[in-house]
């Protein structure tokens, strides 16, 4: 199946495009009324993820509404710990929680790598269903959490502000933490390779909490495991290169090290200037980002000005995938996304002439 729109894959490869490709982290989600309707119909978030037809329906919703250059699999990073038996559940308004958090060396020792086909086969069914329905319209992105980010949820048992349990384990029992991260790196590698075999045409690793670590701890407990994953991924499938994007929220100061990991692109949040990032890494990898999602609460004029500033910061030439610097807020007015994309599609061609 030939791709009708390959801007996203071309930009990741540093190739010429007619305009800057764009997708949004969390583009399928609660800010869209049609998503809220599908979720109400499904009953729960996990029911949506586990039903391939429904997961496909919500994956396509943002593409029906907006001119986006990639689809992202509708699922969650916490499917892996769920498959490891931690009992994922969502309490309304409180975010994800685990019934059985992992707090001790004995609890870590009792864990094993999930059987991807048996325990996460529903994700691969969603991937192949989405690929079939996309019919080559845009590429499909698969994803996973980074080992460190998954470990934070597994040890804390929920979202956290201070990470005292997981960092307590890291400093008190580094060998236990390494054992857990190693297990997760194997699980993530198997999981992403299964997504690629099922049809994911690029993959992104979300390291949402890597930026909470010290510089040496980031290297040792987050980046090292992402590097290991990158080395183990299928990089050529169906006659195409499969690009890997690493996104460490708040990781701008480690850009050079992330870019040297073997990935194809680095995702940046808004705290790093794109132009500065480009000057630091040159053509080594592509850059993805990095509009502050809160810009989407401003007027169309202010949104346009920030889009213009972001494009100008990266500057003329190739290797930029436009995105938000983090997931879109559930409170975003959908029409402001239209204003954002209209501005981008109007202003970005000038940067590729």
Which parts of this chain interact with ligand CP3 (CB under 6 A)? 25-30, 39, 45, 72, 74, 76-78, 95-96, 143, 159, 206, 208, 327
As a whole number of angstroms, the distance between CA 330 and CA 334 comes to 10
Beta strands per DSSP E along the chain: 71-72, 88-91, 95-98, 140-145, 202-207, 236-237, 240-241, 244-248, 265-267, 286-291, 320-324
When the beta carbons of 39 and 197 are compared against ligand CP3, the nearer one is: 39
Instruction: State how far the Cα of 21 lies from the Cα of 323, in Å rounded to an integer.
Output: 9
The residue (of 25 and 111) whose beta carbon lies closer to ligand CP3 is 25
Tokens found for residue 88:
């994922």
Q: Tell me which residue has tokens 């599908």.
A: 38
Using the minimum distance from each CB to ligand CP3, give the nearer residue, 123 or 217: 123
In angstroms, what is the minimal distance from the CB of 322 to ligand CP3? Answer: 15
Q: How many CA atoms lie within 13 A of 141 on its CB side?
A: 28
Min separation Cβ 157 and ligand CP3, Å: 13
CA–CA separation, 40 and 350 (whole Å): 43
- Residue among 39 and 103 whose Cβ is closer to ligand CP3: 39
For residue 350, the minimal CB distance to ligand CP3 (Å) is: 29
CB of 143 to ligand CP3, least distance (A): 5
Question: Measured on CA atoms in the order 228, 230, 236, 237, is the torsion positive or negative?
Answer: positive
CB atoms within 10 A of CB 189: 22
Q: Which residues are catalytic?
A: 26, 30, 39, 76, 153
- Nearest distance from C-beta of residue 159 to ligand CP3, angstroms: 6
Output 29 or 147, the one with its CB closest to ligand CP3. 29
* Residue number with CB closer to ligand CP3 (77 or 344): 77
Nearest to 289 by CA among 264, 304, 305, 271: 271
Beta-bridged to residue 322, according to DSSP, are 22, 289
Closest approach, Cβ 246 to ligand CP3, in A, equals 13
d(CA 147, CA 154): 10
Which residues, other chains included, contact 334 with Cβ-Cβ below 8 Å and sequence gap of 6+?
31, 32, 33, 65
Give 38's Cβ-side CA count (13 Å radius): 26
């Amino acid at each position: 199946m030939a791709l009708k729109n390959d801007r996203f894959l071309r930009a990741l490869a540093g190739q010429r495009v007619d305009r800057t490709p764009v997708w949004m982290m969390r583009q399928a989600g609660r800010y869209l009324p049609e998503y809220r309707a599908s979720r109400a119909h499904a009953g729960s978030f996990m029911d949506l993820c586990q039903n391939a037809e429904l997961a496909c329906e919500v994956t396509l919703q943002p593409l029906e509404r907006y001119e986006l250059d990639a689809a992202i699999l509708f699922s969650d990073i916490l499917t892996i710990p769920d498959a490891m038996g931690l009992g994922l559940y969502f309490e309304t308004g409180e975010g994800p929680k685990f019934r059985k958090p992992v707090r001790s060396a004995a609890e870590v020792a009792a864990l094993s790598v999930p059987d991807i086909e048996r325990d996460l086969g529903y994700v691969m069914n969603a991937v192949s269903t989405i690929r079939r329905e996309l019919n080559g319209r845009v590429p499909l992105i698969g994803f996973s959490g980074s080992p460190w980010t998954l470990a934070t949820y597994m040890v804390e048992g929920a979202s956290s502000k201070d990470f005292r349990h997981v960092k307590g384990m890291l400093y008190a029992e580094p060998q236990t933490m390494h054992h857990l991260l190693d297990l997760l790196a194997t699980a993530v590698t198997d999981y992403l390779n299964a997504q690629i075999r099922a049809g994911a045409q690029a993959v992104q690793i979300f390291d949402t909490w890597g930026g909470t670590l010290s510089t040496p701890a980031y290297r040792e407990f987050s980046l090292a495991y992402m590097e290991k994953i990158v080395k183990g991924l299928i990089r050529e499938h169906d006659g195409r290169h499969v690009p890997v994007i690493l996104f460490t929220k708040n990781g701008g100061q480690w850009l050079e090290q992330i870019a040297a990991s073997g990935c194809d692109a680095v995702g940046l949040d808004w705290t790093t200037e794109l132009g500065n990032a480009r000057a630091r890494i040159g053509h080594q990898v592509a850059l993805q980002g990095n509009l502050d999602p809160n810009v989407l609460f401003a007027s169309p004029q202010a949104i346009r000005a920030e889009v213009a500033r972001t494009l100008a910061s990266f500057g003329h030439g190739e290797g930029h995938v436009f995105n938000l610097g983090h997931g879109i807020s559930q409170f975003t007015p959908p029409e402001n996304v239209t204003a954002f994309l209209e501005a981008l599609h109007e202003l970005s061609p000038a940067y590729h002439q």
